[in-house]
Structure 1
Amino acid sequence: MMRKVLLVFLLVVAGMQVFAQKIETDVFDNLVYQSHDERYKAYLKQNIFDDLIFSDSNGNEVTFKKKYLDLEYGDLLNKPEEKLDLFTSLIHEHEFDRGYKAKYAVDIFDKLVIEDNRNGKVEIGEDIFGNETYEEEFNGEKRSVKRGLNGELKYDAPDEDATLQKDIFDRWTYSDSLGNEFKFSRETWRGLKKRFGSEENIFHYLINEFLYL
């Protein structure tokens, strides 16, 4: 069994290395990828404003504004390996897509704003108490995640809702409109916090896992 696991691991690593070998840097220090059959090409370019723009031969284009990059990725522009990781993930995500366009930016209120040409929009910011807020709109339908007055997290959508709240014994409970309800021990909750980093991230994970099956 261990040999099989090791073999799979080595094959995955080898595949990643072969993929990386297809990526080159042009004279302008932009990343360029071309598939083995030369039917697909992709680029990651940095403009004069230090925005990063991913584009490919399928007409896809994803723009990461400088302020967004600084906030979400730190010093990525000066870290070739991290820049390469972003490029490869974008290739995997969009290689079989066509005509998708999106922009990742930060507005004047310091909200993260993600908009695309498929009627999708996401805004991530903070309320007056410094709690994270999440609002999503797709084809006119709005969904949001906000913190309630008692510290609970609430998810509201047209036909679904969910809540993550802590009781007086510091134990967290997740419940949703499908009838799911999970109570977490302190030990389990610590493990979730270690894995996902924040209560908001845990809540998003639980919603995706159990409300949208």
Structure 2
Amino acid sequence: MKKTLILLITTFLSIHVYAQRGSYGNDFFGHLEFNSIDGRYKATMVKNFFNGLEFSDNANNSVEFDEKYLGRHYPGIMSDNPGKSTLFRKLVRRMYREQGYKVKHSVDIFNKEIVEDNRGYKSESGRDIFGHDYFEEQGRDGALSIKRNVHGDLEYKWNNYSASIGKDVFGKWNFSDNEGNEIQFNANSWNKMIQRFGSERDILWFLIDKIIDNNDQEYQDNYDF
């Protein structure tokens, strides 16, 4: 049984690696292209009419990046041939097992960053009218958001679960959620959390992931690291 399992894993990995083997280069028009060794998979990436990049392949997959999105996440890539080649290779590795998957990355006129695909996923991030960063997404696992609420606290929502972190009138930072979990930080503890994670948002992610999901019990303590 063990030998059979090892054989199956080895076979899968061999297929996985082989499918990505092939030749990278440029076509007659200078567009990036990939052709697998067995000739079954072909992909290209081209500059579109709006100065964005479009990846497509013969499995009916496509990935689009508009000009603003590229400027934000891949500055200078349009004149950086090695940078474009690196992105193209990543897309080949990501998409060669897909079929009919289409996704678009864009930044709209309000500077909202939007990622949307043809399988029901959509995310949006940007700044609200008060200048606070926010993130929202919706997909197979439901709806998720992280943004400032009316009290100025950073709030996380995922379907029926919600949690927030913010400073009270006494200057202490507090975490709480709708399942009755609470954590209060004294100044020393909070400073250590900031040094460790870098931002209020990352602290909130950590508390939700490590404390709520993994331990699944009530917390009420002065946290100290």
C-alpha distance in structure 1 between counterparts of 2:117 and 2:44, whole Å: 19
SS of aligned partner of 2:25: strand
2:160 aligns with 159
Q: Aligned-pair distance for 1:174?
A: 5.5
The aligned runs of 1:112-151 (5 Å cut-off) are 112-138=113-139, 141-151=142-152
When residues 167 and 126 of structure 1 are mapped into structure 2, their CA distance, relative to the original with a 3 A threshold, is same
Q: Distance in 2 between matches of 1:180 and 1:93?
A: 39
- Could you tell me which runs of 5 or more consecutive residues in structure 1 were left unpaired when the two chains were aligned: 1-18
Structure 1 CA distance for aligned equivalents of residues 60 and 137 of structure 2:
25
Asked whether the 8 Å contact 1:171–1:186 carries over to 2, the reply is no
C-alpha separation in 2, matches of 1:200 and 1:49: 34
Residue of structure 1 in register with 2:104 after alignment: 103
Radius of gyration: which is bigger?
2
Q: Deviations over 1:74-99 (max 9, x none)?
A: 22211222222222222222221111
Q: Contact conserved, 1:178 with 1:211, CA < 8 A, in 2? A: no
Separation in 1, partners of 2:118, 2:69: 19
* Identity value in percent: 36
1:192 aligns with 2:197: yes
- Shift of the 209–113 alpha-carbon distance from structure 1 to 2, 3 Å rule, reads farther
What is the deviation of 1:149?
A: 4.5
Structure 2 CA distance, aligned partners of 1:211 and 1:100?
A: 34
Q: Distance in 2 between matches of 1:147 and 1:68?
A: 24
Query: Structure 1's 79 and 166: CA in aligned 2 closer, same or farther, altered over 3 A?
Result: farther
When residues 41 and 152 of structure 1 are mapped into structure 2, their CA distance, relative to the original with a 3 A threshold, is same
* Structure 2 CA distance for partners of 1:203 and 1:86, relative to 1, 3 Å: farther
Q: Aligned pairs, how many?
A: 192
CA deviations on 1:32-51 (whole Å, 9 max, x unpaired) are 12223332222111112211
The CA deviation at 1:154 is 1.0
For normalisation by structure 2, the TM-score amounts to 0.69
Give me the CA root mean square deviation: 3.4
Partner of 1:14 in structure 2? Answer: none
Task: For residue 22 of structure 1, report the CA deviation from its aligned partner.
Answer: 3.1
Gaps of 5+ in 2: 1-19, 215-225
* 1:150-191 Cα shifts (integer Å, max 9, x gaps): 543211122222334456898866665677777665334323
TM-score, with structure 1 as normaliser: 0.72
CA distance in 2, matches of 1:124, 1:205: 20
Q: Given the alignment of the two structures, is residue 52 of structure 1 paired with residue 57 of structure 2, yes or no?
A: no
Q: 1:63 to 1:211 in 2, by over 3 A?
A: farther
